[in-house]
């Protein structure tokens, strides 16, 4: 495959940009060592799926599955990495907002208008996987036409044993910023990554000889993301402790949140955009707003009122967020996050909600509500 052809087909399938990397890529061993050290240091929190290992010949645990693409996919010879932007002309989380407003991460606003003209949540996993399948079909069509035979392929959008960001960097889509996000020099970091692994070789006689493409690190001396992180999750440039990250705490973590981190969570009720919102590479003057029709923002999720989120019962939660990334937090998880945001709001009107939840059966919600009550009392 050639990079030029793959990029053209990916854009036909609906992606904003795409790159191609030969496997194993030139930095495979370096990236594997970094991932192994990150897991060994306990930075993955309770995300045990990141710690899955291959089974050794005698049944013992071997290498981390995600450390090298060749472990789960020994047949893979190339990785097509696609980028779909989700930025919009909506406010940033760091912009002024109404008192008592929460924040839902920008990526989770995704929606599209259905055939009946009604706007509904869109699951970016499904949207992008459909595009990956279209891309794969296009490649298979070309292979058949050229009589080159069959090939093996597997596509993933956040769900496979691959480190998408490392593959995206190897494919020349950008560099890894100090906030650990992939930064595209033209599109910024507000983007989803989708990966299609194939058994096809990268064309060796392309103009660059199949050499890896790299985008130089352009973070320079900037440290806005590190200075802005409220929970200290960015422990050093290019190093993230997921167990302290607000996105992890509000989405992946189940149960009670340690009190010393709740104050830093601010008004974030699902995910966090702070380290991206302060990044100069995401400045509205620098990066284009995404016009992806299947990933448009839902206006009702921008700066949502905490009272509205608190008032949802479980059936309303399911109805409102079915097909939305927000559903991953779970009904009680979202309530717990709202309780923390209420405590951080300084607004006494939230006391009745917190009193009610302070006796909840769920430990995560109960502990957050009690912490919130104490925080509000202390702020009077």
Q: Which of 166, 237, 133 has the alpha carbon at shortest distance from 19?
A: 166
User: CA geometry: angle at 203 spanning 197 and 204, to 5°?
Assistant: 130
- Calculated CA dihedral for residues 217, 222, 224, 225, nearest 10 degrees: 20
CA angle 169, 172, 175 (to 5 degrees): 45
Tokens of 274: 């702070």
Helix, strand, or coil here: 190? coil
Pick the catalytic residue from 158, 205, 277, 292.
Answer: 158
The closest of 192, 194, 195 to 84, measured between CA atoms, is 192
Element (H, E) at 352: helix 351-357
Residue 275 backbone dihedrals phi, psi, to 5 degrees: -70, -20
CA neighbours closer than 13 Å in the CB half-sphere of residue 228: 17
DSSP letter assigned to residue 70: T
- The answer to whether 234 touches 240, Cβ cutoff 8 Å, is yes
At CB < 8 A and 24+ separation, what contacts does 344-347 make?
A: 344/262, 344/263, 344/265, 344/266, 344/267, 344/372, 344/375, 345/99, 345/100, 345/267, 345/306, 346/376, 346/379, 347/99, 347/100, 347/376
Q: What are the backbone angles phi and psi of residue 190, rounded to the nearest 5°?
A: -80, 80
Give yes or no: 300 in active site. Answer: no
Dist CA 305 CA 326 (whole Å): 15
Which residues are part of the catalytic machinery?
158
């Amino acid at each position: 495959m050639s990079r030029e052809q793959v990029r053209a087909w990916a854009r036909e399938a609906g992606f904003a940009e795409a790159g191609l990397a030969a496997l194993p890529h030139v930095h495979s061993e370096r990236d594997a060592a970094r991932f192994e050290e990150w897991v060994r240091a306990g930075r993955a929190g309770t995300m045990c799926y990141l710690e899955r290992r291959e089974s050794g010949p005698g049944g013992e645990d071997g290498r981390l599955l995600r450390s090298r693409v060749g472990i789960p996919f020994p047949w893979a010879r190339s990785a097509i990495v696609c980028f779909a932007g989700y930025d919009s002309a909506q406010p940033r989380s760091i912009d002024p907002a109404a008192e008592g407003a929460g924040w839902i991460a920008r990526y989770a606003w995704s929606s599209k208008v259905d055939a009946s003209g009604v706007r509904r949540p869109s699951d970016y996993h499904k949207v992008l996987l459909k595009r990956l399948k279209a891309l794969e079909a296009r490649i298979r069509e070309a292979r058949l036409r050229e009589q080159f035979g069959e090939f093996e392929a597997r596509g993933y959008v956040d769900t496979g044993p691959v480190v998408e960001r490392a593959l995206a960097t190897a494919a020349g889509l950008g560099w890894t910023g100090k906030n650990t996000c992939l930064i595209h020099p033209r599109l910024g970091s507000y983007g989803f990554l989708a990966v299609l692994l194939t058994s096809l070789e990268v064309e060796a006689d392309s103009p660059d000889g199949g050499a890896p493409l790299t985008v130089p690190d352009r973070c320079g001396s900037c440290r806005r993301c590190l200075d802005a992180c409220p929970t200290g999750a960015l422990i050093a440039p290019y190093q993230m402790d997921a167990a302290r990250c607000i996105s992890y705490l509000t989405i992946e973590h189940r149960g009670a949140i340690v009190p010393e981190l709740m104050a830093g969570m601010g008004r974030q009720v699902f995910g966090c955009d702070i380290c991206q919102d302060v990044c100069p590479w995401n400045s509205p003057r620098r990066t284009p707003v995404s016009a992806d029709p299947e990933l448009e923002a839902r206006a009702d999720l921008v700066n949502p009122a905490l009272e509205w989120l608190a008032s949802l019962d479980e059936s309303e939660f399911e109805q409102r967020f079915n097909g939305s990334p927000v559903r991953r937090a779970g009904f009680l998880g979202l309530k717990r996050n709202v309780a923390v945001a209420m405590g951080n709001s300084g607004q006494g009107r939230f006391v009745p909600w917190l009193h009610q939840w302070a006796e909840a059966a769920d430990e995560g919600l109960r502990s957050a509500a009690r912490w919130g009550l104490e925080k509000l009392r202390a702020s009077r």
